[in-house]
Amino acid sequence: MPITVSAAFDSGNIEVLRADGPQAIDLAIRKDAHSDFYQWFYFRLSGARGEACRVRITNCAGSAYPGGWPDYRAVVSTDRQTWTRTETSYADGILTIDVTPAADSIWIAYFAPYTMERHHDLIARIAAAPGVTTRVLGTTLDGQDLDCIDIAGGPLQVWLYARQHPGETMAEYWMEGAFDRLIDAADPVATALRAKASFHIIPNMNPDGSRRGHLRTNAVGANLNREWAGPTLDRSPEVVHALAAMDATGADFTMDVHGDESLPHNFIAGFEGIPKITDRQLGLLGDYKAILARLSPDFQTRIGYPPSAPGRANLTMSTNQLANRFGCLAMTLEMPFKDAAENPDPVAGWSPERCRALGRDCLAALLEVVDRLR
């Protein structure tokens, strides 16, 4: 049986250079459309059951984050539900993945994929819960819906949004954890939060990049998290529509959920350096991070991005734009592609299950600051 490698499916990304035998599989990651970014891969390997395969991705030196490859391990699955890490090494710009398929077909990815089909399943499932409404904020350049889920509640306005960078699939698994907690009528954290706040949630800001198998951009190569100062319908309709919806409600708390290719940690980036910064905002930010670190051993505050200097914040980034625009507590949550070094899992690494757990804990942390948000 010949070995085949394919990626012509929802969220797939790979180019086949050769697949001449189990030890002669050379691949390359495709660039995001109209962009030089690439790092996300997701493909199917068939016809090699029980054979020791060596898969080489040969163009990693030019990827968006070469620092993401050392100490990184790819994920594999035979059922596309359970993803485990497999032996992976990086040298001379080549990522080498060693795997012995336990089935006729296996799927190999940068992180557990979150396809647009799964996204639609999520929307359908959450929409059925009491007090939940779903709306389409607008249409993407590929003609997909930009979904927003509203959970009616108290007067505070909470916005959660994820996957501006579509290859950061952990962000939508985080959303699953947050949703499941918020719609659980028996969960006291959810009940207390919903009494105080209404939630508006965009679980996937970048459907086009997600379906196309992009790392970082939408259908025309726009990095959506550099579009918030002046988005346009031609280039970044996703941000135009999201920002209009946020302006309509206002915002007291916003969280933008991401993944970081290089750092093996969960951390939060803030909005230091915005022109209208207040001590109140900074105090809330520090307190939220400390509370989350107390609640979740997977989260830490020691390592993260350096804060911007006073007045130097990049207002094209959503967290800076929203903190400046609404005077609110805003933050960017980063989760690892690799693992959380504080609490490593040798089998799964950072995983969908742990993303969901962090989503639940982020809501518990929100409850501890919610009375100070306005």
Q: How far is 348 from 345, CA to CA, in rounded Å?
A: 6
Query: Which of the following is catalytic: 334, 342, 353, 368?
Result: 334
| Using rule CB under 5 A, residue 356 touches Zn ion | no
Pick 196 or 214: Cβ nearer Zn ion = 214
* Shortest distance (Å) from residue 140 CB to Zn ion: 18
- CA 245, 249, 252, 257: dihedral to nearest 10 degrees? -20
* Shortest distance (Å) from residue 261 CB to Zn ion: 9
Pick 260 or 361: Cβ nearer Zn ion = 260
> 287-300 in b/e burial notation, b at 16+ Cβ within 10 A?
ebbebbbebbebbb
Stretch that binds Zn ion, among 43-51, 91-99, 202-210, 250-258 (CB under 5 A): 250-258
Q: Which of 5, 97, 101 has the alpha carbon at shortest distance from 44?
A: 5
Stretch that binds Zn ion, among 30-38, 190-198, 251-259, 285-293 (CB under 5 A): 251-259
Exposed / middle / buried, residue 12 (Cβ in 10 Å: 0-12, 13-18, 19+) = buried
Residues 215-244, interacting with Zn ion (CB under 5 A): none
* Shortest distance (Å) from residue 165 CB to Zn ion: 3
Q: Which of 26, 358, 29 has the alpha carbon at shortest distance from 216?
A: 29
Residues 110-169, interacting with Zn ion (CB under 5 A): 165, 168
Q: Are strands 53-57 and 25-28 parallel, antiparallel or unpaired?
A: parallel
Pick 165 or 194: Cβ nearer Zn ion = 165
* Shortest distance (Å) from residue 258 CB to Zn ion: 3
* Shortest distance (Å) from residue 4 CB to Zn ion: 32
Answer yes or no: 172 catalytic: no
Pick 336 or 349: Cβ nearer Zn ion = 336
Pick 250 or 307: Cβ nearer Zn ion = 307
Helices assigned H by DSSP within the chain: 116-127, 170-182, 188-196, 207-212, 237-249, 279-295, 318-326, 352-369
The 252-291 site mask, x for binding Zn ion (CB under 5 A), equals ------x---------------------------------
Q: How far is 73 from 345, CA to CA, in rounded Å?
A: 12
Other C-beta atoms closer than 10 Å to the C-beta of 311 total 9
Count of residues engaged in binding Zn ion, rule: CB under 5 A: 3
Angle between helices 318-326 and 237-249 (to 10 degrees): 30
Pick 118 or 214: Cβ nearer Zn ion = 214
Residue 150 amino acid letter? D
**Partner residues linked to 99 by β-bridges:** 53
Contact residues for 360 (Cβ-Cβ < 8 A; gap 6+): 177, 178, 180, 181
Exposed / middle / buried, residue 325 (Cβ in 10 Å: 0-12, 13-18, 19+) = buried
Q: How far is 112 from 373, CA to CA, in rounded Å?
A: 34
Pick 32 or 168: Cβ nearer Zn ion = 168
Name the residues annotated as catalytic: 334
List interacting residues with Zn ion (CB under 5 A).
165, 168, 258
